[in-house]
Structures are given as C-alpha cells and as structure tokens.
Structure 1
Amino acid sequence: MQKLIKKLYDELYSPKLTPEELLNNIKHDNYISVNFSREDGKIIGITKCYLKNGLLAEYKYVFDNEKKLIKLSSNICGEEEIIYDRDTAIKKIYKEIKLKKSSLEKAI
C-alpha cells in the first residue's frame, strides 16, 4: 500500500519534466525544433525530431502553470497517440488503492 501512496504522491506533485528540461533537448542532433506557446492558461511545447528509424516525429507537451507535465502526445506519420495523461494516471492509482483497500478489508 505504501508503494501505491508514494506512486500517487509522485503523480500529484512531481513535474515529470519541466519546460526548461524539454528545451535542453534541442542540443540533441536528432532534434529539429522545440517551440513554446501559451494556450488556455497552459504552456504548450511542440518538439520535432527524427527517430532512430529516420521517421519525423512531433511531440506535444502540455504543462500547467506550475510547470508540471499534464499531457504528452505524439504524432508520427499522421498517427496520433497519447503517451502520458496525468489525470488518467491519477485515476488509475486511486482505483488500485481502492482495490487494495477492499482486499485488505476482506482479509480481516
């Protein structure tokens, strides 16, 4: 249960990645651009880079005002995928905690 609580704490409070850290990716040879803008009170980072297989990839990072990553999605060859969603991750951990609590109560 402690591992789940620590995991929940990390999801709630850890930035995962900051805009400043993302900006440093431009130093990598495979990166083409790292751009930032503001949209609906959020910081949006768009990166373009080449993958190891030579394909061009675009990643969209959405940060809140506290510079915590709240969503990460990719677009590779027109195929979009959500890689990370903080709200979904938090809900999943709450569900795991609830199941664990329920199984502990049944064991008593």
Structure 2
Amino acid sequence: MERRGWDVLSRVIHGARISLYVGFGAVAIGITAGFVMAVVTTYAGGMVDLAFQRLVDAMMALPGLIIALAIVAVLGSSLQNVVLAIVIGMLAPVVRTVRSQVLTLKELD
C-alpha cells in the first residue's frame, strides 16, 4: 500500500490502460483498414491492384518496427501517432493475407 491507499494490483491495472488502448486500438484499426484496402483494390483489379501490391511489397521489405519508428520520429510521439505508426507497420501482412483470400473467392465467381 502506498500513501493514496492503492495496492500494487490496482496500480498495475491503472497503468495498463494506456498499453491496452494502444494495443487493442492498433490491432482493431489495422485489421479493419487492411481488410478494406485489400478487398477494394483486389476487386478493382488492373493497375490499381498492381500499384497497391507494389506498395505493399515495398512495405514488406522493411520491418514494421522500423517503419513505425520512422513515422513517430516524423510526426512526434503523441499517443495517436504511436497508434498510427503501429497500424501502418502492421498493414502489409494483413493486406497480403486478405488479398490472397479475396483472389481465391474472386476466381470462384
């Protein structure tokens, strides 16, 4: 117990709020954005799909953490920028996975 009467568990739970916000927020936004981008560009096809896939390939060439660090360095270290950086860093694998499934379903039509 400390002076305010909080025990260790309540302090850990209170401190975990920000970590959970960043973690769950980044995953939810990243999966949703990656899914939407992959479905739209795959069904659009043609040059749109090709250009977007080259962008995803370029993002896959760099580790997501390096991309996230560069984004935070440019935009600043606010909580929203950290979430945005993590989302952008995790988009490429999500887009590639969803795109492959959408292509499979598109071929069935």
Using the size of structure 2 for normalisation, the TM-score is 0.34
> Where is the helix percentage greater, Structure 1 or Structure 2?
2
> Where is the strand percentage greater, Structure 1 or Structure 2?
1
Structure ID, larger Rg = 2
Using the size of structure 1 for normalisation, the TM-score is 0.34
